[in-house]
Amino acid sequence: MFDESDRTAVADAVTEMLTTGALTLGPWTERFEQAFAAEHGASHAVAVASGTAALEIVLRTVGVRDRDVVVPAVTFYATAGAVLHAGGRPVLADVDPETLALSPQTLEAALTPDTAAVVLVHIGGLITPDVDGLRAVCDRRGIPLVEDAAHAHGSGYQGRTAGSFGLAGAFSFYPTKVTTSGEGGMILTESAELRDEARIYRDQGKGSFTTNHHVRFGASWRMSELNAAVGTVHLRRLKEFVETRRRVAQRYDAALVGLDGMRPVLEPAGCRSNYYKYVALLPPGVDRAAFKRAVAEEFGVRLSGEVYDLPLHHQPVFGPYRGAPLPVAEDVCARQVCLPVHSDMTEDETDQVISAVSAVHGRLAG
């Protein structure tokens, strides 16, 4: 959602950059980095070409080549894809059924003698209350914790924000995320060393912007000034977007807890999700495809994409990394639906979804 004032602000920025000719790694990139860091209370931010690039850069800086990296099986392709691109081996771990995230137990079960890093994913924008416990497991072994915070712009836990729980957080500004830059990503970190490395990696591994000494095996991972301007303008709306999303989620919570066998993923105490997605598990035995078809055809309600409908170890491309069965991941992927949440969603639209879901639930789960 870009309202008229947002569109005007972007148009003015584009006019300015076409006039000055500063089209990459210029003042808008810096502005976006500063604003995003401030929004999350982080010391350093490095803007890059995508969320996947943000993850790969952090993993390359850590050094995961020919070593294991723990990744939850419930996540997007890119979380494990970035591990492989950085030269590491993804070890897919099971998740907690209440938060859809790693738990200290599922993490312990996936650690190997050669674990180089652990990636925690804040599914749907929810930061697990186990985050400190996960950090403690990592600290005991001296393993860096990395956050895939692609879903979690502005999400928090006990007053701390996404991106602040480990070595670094990787964010995405793909158009479906809570705020977008068209395409883009951001690394947040407290480490000045990681910030400096990330700046080198994103620009073809060059030692500095103006020299041609390539000191790292980087790539073309810069964010363009056009993307940075869109991202900076959109970020101004983050707080308002999250408020709207949270109001929608509260209405869903109140309605769904009354539906027999339906299990919405509720916010544990201390958590403040941005509700990138509103996830609910259908009662066991209810056919998801039939459920989605019924709410669409009979009520005109289109559910959003799942997070995710298939665990990574069942994705063909990760076949070689398939280990023991991961029963919770398999169950939560098979049973989840995501109710629509938009940053400008009204109460009437929310109630229309609730009516549709309640009616179809009554029929299919009854």
Ligand X SMILES: *Cc1c(COP(=O)(O)O)cnc(C)c1O
User: Taking the mean position of all CA atoms in its chain, how far away is CA 122?
Assistant: 6
Is 2 among the residues that bind ligand X (CB under 6 A)? Answer: no
Please tell me whether residue 172 binds ligand X under the rule CB under 6 A.
yes
Quick one: which segment of 73-81, 104-112, 295-303, 329-337 binds ligand X (CB under 6 A)?
73-81
C-beta of 64: minimal distance to ligand X in Å?
16
CA atoms within 13 Å, Cβ hemisphere of 267: 23
Site for ligand X in 342-361 (CB under 6 A): none
DSSP 266: P
- Using the rule CB under 6 A, give the single segment among 15-23, 71-79, 159-167, 193-201 that binds ligand X: 71-79
Interface mask toward ligand X for 120-149; x: CB under 6 A: -x--------------------------x-
Question: If we measure between CA atoms, which residue out of 163, 347, 131, 145 comes closest to residue 255?
Answer: 347
118, with CB counted inside 10 A (0-12, 13-18, 19+), is buried
Tell whether omega for the bond before 321 is within 30 degrees of 0, i.e. cis. no
Candidate residues 29, 79, 164, 232; the one interacting with ligand X per rule CB under 6 A: 79
Q: Which is nearer to ligand X, 148 or 267 (CB)?
A: 148
Question: Which of 44, 60, 89, 151 touches ligand X (CB under 6 A)?
Answer: 151
Contacts of 271 (CB under 8 A, 6+ apart): 126, 127, 128, 129, 156, 157
Choose the binding region for ligand X from 4-12, 72-80, 97-105, 311-319 (rule: CB under 6 A): 72-80
Minimum gap (Å) between residue 308 Cβ and ligand X: 9
Candidates 45-53, 220-228, 341-349, 357-365; binding stretch for ligand X (CB under 6 A):
45-53
Which is closer to ligand X, CB of 175 or CB of 285? 175
Using Cβ positions, the residue closest to ligand X within the complex turns out to be 51
The residue range among 50-58, 89-97, 105-113, 242-250 that interacts with ligand X, by the rule CB under 6 A, is 50-58
Question: Among residues 50, 161, 181, 274, which is the contact residue for ligand X, using CB under 6 A?
Answer: 50
- Please report how close the Cβ of residue 28 comes to ligand X at its closest, in angstroms: 18
C-alpha–C-alpha distance, residues 192 and 46, integer Å: 11
Q: How far is the CB of 121 from ligand X (least distance, A)?
A: 5
Q: Is residue 179 a contact partner of residue 152, using CB atoms and an 8 Å limit?
A: no
- Would you tell me the crossing angle of helices 347-364 and 288-299 to the nearest 10 degrees? 130
Contact between 252 and 264 under an 8 Å Cβ cutoff? The reply is yes
- 75 in contact with ligand X (CB under 6 A): yes
- According to the binding rule CB under 6 A, does residue 48 interact with ligand X? no
Choose between 64 and 262: whose C-beta lies nearer to ligand X: 64
The answer to whether 174 and 50 are in contact (CB under 8 A) is yes
For the bound state, the minimum distance from the C-beta of residue 365 to ligand X, rounded and expressed in Å, comes to: 29
Q: Please give the size of the binding site for ligand X, defined by CB under 6 A.
A: 14
Residue partners of 296: CB distance under 8 A and separation at least 6:
302, 303
For residue 117, the Cα-to-chain-centroid distance in whole angstroms is 18
Structure tokens belonging to residue 60: 């390359």
Beta-strand relationship, 68-72 and 89-93: parallel
Examine residue 174 and tell whether it contacts ligand X (CB under 6 A): yes
**Does residue number 245 form part of the binding site for ligand X (CB under 6 A)?**
no
**Residue closer to ligand X, measured from CB, 145 or 356:** 145
Enumerate residues 6+ apart whose C-beta is below 8 A from 328: 94, 95, 96, 97, 106
103 binds ligand X (CB under 6 A): no
Nearer to ligand X, 259 or 311 (CB): 311
Backbone angles phi, psi at 320, to 5 degrees: -65, -15
Interface residue list for ligand X (CB under 6 A): 50-52, 75-76, 78-79, 121, 148, 150-151, 172, 174, 185
